[in-house]
A and B are shown apart, each in its own frame.
Chain A
Amino acid sequence: MSDTDRTRNEPGPERRGGPPRPPEVAPENGGVAQEHDRAAHELAAVAPMVSGQSVPVHPETARPAEVPSETRVEEHQERVIITPPVRPPTMGLRRPRLPRWTPLGLAVGSLAFAVAVGLVAGLDSRVQWGLIAALVFVAANFALTAAVEGRRQAVDKLALSLIWTSFLVAVLPLASLVWETVARGIPTVSWDFLTHSMNGVLSWQQGGGIYHALLATLQQVALASLIAIPIGLLTAVYLVEYGRGSLARAITFFVDVMTGIPSIVAGLFVLTLWIMALDFGYSGFAGALALSILMMPIVVRATEEMLKLVPNELREAALALGVPKWRVILKVVLPTAIGGITTGVMLAIARIAGETAPILLLVFGSNLINANPFEGPQSSLPLFVYEQWGYGTEEAYDRAWAAALVLIVLIMILNLVARGVARWKAPKTGR
C-alpha cells in the first residue's frame, strides 16, 4: 500500500515543478507512513503551514485522486486568508491551536448557560437543560475551532462531538434499563420468592414466587440444548471438514437465514407440527422444540468459526500418522476448539433462555409447579414476567421486575462464564 502511495505522490513535484521537500519535514513524513498516529496529527497541523509559507502547491499537500477537488480549493483559500504573514518565533511552523483545556472550559460554560436559561425560562425538565447545554457546547466548540484552527479542524471537532453524543445517547437508555431492573427488582427478590410458586396467590396480593417458572425454564432450556447441540455441532463439522459443493453452500446460506427467524414463527411452526398435526398437548417439551430451532443456527455458526481457526497442520500431522479422519476430528480438531465451542453454546443458551413468544404459544403458562416437561402446561421466567405485567397491579409489577432481575442475572452469568471460558481456552492464532 505504501508502495502505491509513493508512486502516486512522487511524480507530483516533478510534474508540477515544485521545490524540493524541506529537509526538516521529510523524515517526519516517512515516520508517519509507518506507524505513529501522534506524529501524523502533528503533520496534519504542520503540512498546510509549511506550504502556506513557501508555495501554494507542495508535495506534502498533494493528495490521492479520491479527494474532491473543492476541498483543496477551500483549503487553499483558507490558508491564504488565515495564515498571518509573520509568525512569532516561538510558534515555529505550527498553526495556532486552542489550548488543551478548551473543551472543559466550554463544557462548564455551556452548562452554566443552560442552567441560567432553564431557571429564567422556568423549564422544569432536567432533560431539556441537558439538551440546551449539549447544543451550546457543540455550537460553541465548532465556532471557536473554526475561528482559530480553521474549518477542517472544526468539522473534525464537530464529528468528534457527534460520535461522543451517539455513544452517550445509546448508553443512557441501556443504563436506565439495567438500573430500573435492579432497583425495582431487588426489594422483592428473597429466598421465599425463589422457592415458592404462584399457587393460590391472586394478582393483587403480595407474595408468591418464581420457583415453578425457574424450574420450567431450566428444564426447557436443557431439553432444547439436548436437541440443538448435537445437530448444531455435527452440521458445523460437516460444513468445515466434509462439506463441498452446492449442498454445503445451501446449508451455509440457510443457517444464516435461520438465525433471523422470528421466535414467534418458530413457535407457530411447532404449533402446527406438534400440537395441531401430531395432536400432542401443551407442554414444556413443545416449547423446547421451538427453542431448539432458534438455538441450532447459533451453535452451528459459533462452532464453524472455531473449527476454521484450528490450524490445518494439526489435521495433517494426525492424518499423516494414519489416524482415520473421524478420529482426527473427534480427538484432535474438536478438543482444540472446545473452548470457543463452549462459549458459543453458552451464548446460544443465554439467548434462548430469554425467549417468550414460543413459550407463550406452546407451553401456555401455569401458576403451579409442574416438574414434568413432557406433560401439561408449565411456566417459564420470561413468560412469568409477561403474565405479571399483564395483571396490571402494583404487586404484580413488583413480581415482574423481580423475575426480570433474576432472568437478567441468570443470562449475564451465562454470558460472563462463556466469555471467561473463551479467554481461558482461546486458540493461539498468532495475533
Chain B
Amino acid sequence: MSPTTTASPPSTGRTGDRIFSGLSKGAGIALLAIMAAIAVFLTARAVVAIRANEGNFLTTFEWNANADPPVFGIAVLLFGTVASSLIAMLLAVPVAVGIALFISHYAPRRLATPIGYVVDLLAAVPSIIYGLWGALFLVPRLTGLYEWLDQFFGWTGVLSYDGSPARSLMTVGILLAIMILPIITSVTREVFLQTPKANEEAALALGATRWEVVRMAVLPFGRSGVISASMLGLGRALGETMAVATVLSPAFLINLSLLESGGATFAQNIASQFKEAGSMGRDALIASGLVLFLLTLVVNGAARLIIARHKEYSGAAA
C-alpha cells in the first residue's frame, strides 16, 4: 500500500511543478521583454525621425516636425522639463520631510495614522484632476504672488513678471510639487519609522530635546531614504503629462523668466501636438518620448539602487 501512494503523487507533482514554474518564469521574462520592446520600438521610430531631421536634434530651438523638411530639437523641452521638475523638488522635498517627521515623530499617535491614510489617498488622485484644479483655481490666484516676487526679485531676471496669466513653468513647478508630495512623504515616513528606537531613546536619555533627537538620530539614519524618495518624486515630475498640459501655456522658446508663460516639457509637448501630427511629426514626438524614457530610467534606476543598498545596510545592522 505504501509504495503505491508514495510512487504516484511525486510524478504528477513534478509535471505540475514544471508547468507552473515555467509559467511563472515566463511571466517574469515577459516583463523584461516588455521593457526591452519599449526601448527597441521607440528607438526604431526615433532613428527614422532623427535621420530626416534638418535641424540638430539636441540644440535646435524649434519644433516644426510636420514641415518639409522637418526641423526640430529638444533643447526647449529639456529646459522646460528640468526647470519645472527642479522647482517642484525644491518646494516639495523640505515640506515632505517635514510632514514625514510630523507623522513619524511629532503628531499624537491618534492623529498620525489617519494622516498617513490621507496622504496615501492623495497619492491616488489622478493627475488630470490636479491639472483641472491648477488651471481653474491655482493659476488666477498666483498673479498676486508673482507681482510681489517681481517687485522685489525682478532684477534677477529669473523672477521678472509681465502680468500675463500665470501659466508658466513656475506654476507648473508649484503644481508638480503638490502632486509629488504624497509619494515623497510616504517613502520618507517609512524610512523615518525604521529609525532604531534605541538610538532615539539614548539621545533622549542624554537630555536631548525632540529636535536634537531628530537631528542626531532620525535624519542621519534616514538620509539615503530621503534622497531616494526625492528621486522617485523627481521621476514622477519629469514624466507628468496632463497636469502640465492643462496649466502651461506652451511656446517653443526658452524664457529665462520662470514666472512668464512659455516653454514646454517633453510629456506636455507630446500630448498637445499629437492630434495635429502627421507621420513624421509622430516619429519626432516618439524621439522626444525616447529621451524622456531614458531620463526617467536613469533617475528611477539611481533611486532604486540607493534604496537597495540602504536595505542591505539596515538589514545587516538589525
Contact = CB atoms under 8 A, between A and B. Distances in A.
Q: Is the interface of A mostly helix, strand, loop or mixed?
A: helix
B124 interface: yes
B305 to A, nearest CB: 8
A296 interface: yes
Nearest to A412: B121
Nearest to A181: B129
B205 A33 contact: yes
Given A264-B267, A386-B246, A404-B132, A231 B31 contact: yes
A426 interface: no
Contacts of B300: 256-257, 259-260
A408 B78 CA distance: 32
Interface in B110-140: 115, 117, 120-122, 124-133, 135-138
A415 B121 contact: yes
B262 interface: no
A203 B142 CA distance: 28
B301 interface: yes
A235 interface: yes
B126 A32 contact: no
Interface in A95-153: 125, 152-153
Given A66-B216, A177-B129, A262 B267 contact: yes
B242 interface: yes
A316 to B, nearest CB: 16
B316 to A, nearest CB: 15
A213 B313 CA distance: 48
Interface in A235-264: 235, 237-239, 241-243, 247-248, 250-251, 253-264
Contacts of A309: none
A385 interface: yes
A368 B9 CA distance: 57
Nearest to A268: B289
B124 A257 contact: no
B124 A411 contact: yes
B165 interface: no
Contact of B124 (A5, A170, A350, A389): A350
B34 A293 contact: yes
A268 B178 CA distance: 26
Interface string A307-319: 0000000000000
A157 to B, nearest CB: 8
Interface stretch (B15-23, B60-68, B69-77): B15-23
B95 A169 contact: yes
B17 A326 contact: yes
B17 A268 contact: no
Interface in B185-211: 185, 196, 198-199, 201-202, 204-211
A289 B105 CA distance: 43
Nearest to A47: B207
B293 A329 contact: no
A357 B241 CA distance: 7
B99 interface: yes
A119 to B, nearest CB: 19
A354 interface: yes
Contacts of A385: 128-129, 132
B205 A29 contact: yes
B98 interface: yes
Contact of B201 (A40, A176, A259): A40
Given A263-B239, A386-B128, A415-B121, A163 B41 contact: no
Contacts of A329: 20
A386 B136 CA distance: 12
A156 B289 contact: no
B28 A263 contact: no
B35 A257 contact: yes
B310 interface: no
Nearest to B141: A127
Contacts of B129: 177, 181, 354, 385, 404, 407-408
Contact of B209 (A35, A60, A152, A350): A152
Contact of B198 (A2, A29, A67): A2
B127 A231 contact: no
Most buried by B among A235, A269, A330: A269
A170 B95 CA distance: 7
B172 interface: no
A325 B17 contact: yes
Contacts of B138: 173
Contact of B238 (A66, A177, A262, A330): A262
A61 B207 CA distance: 7
A155 interface: yes
B197 to A, nearest CB: 8
Contact of A356 (B14, B17, B241): B241
Nearest to B117: A419
Most buried by B among A167, A273, A401, A412: A167
18 contacts: A155-B209, A156-B212, A231-B31, A241-B24, A258-B34, A260-B299, A260-B303, A264-B241, A269-B38, A293-B34, A296-B34, A324-B17, A326-B13, A326-B20, A357-B242, A389-B136, A411-B126, A412-B121
The 3 closest A-B pairs by CB, nearest first: A262-B239, A354-B126, A324-B13
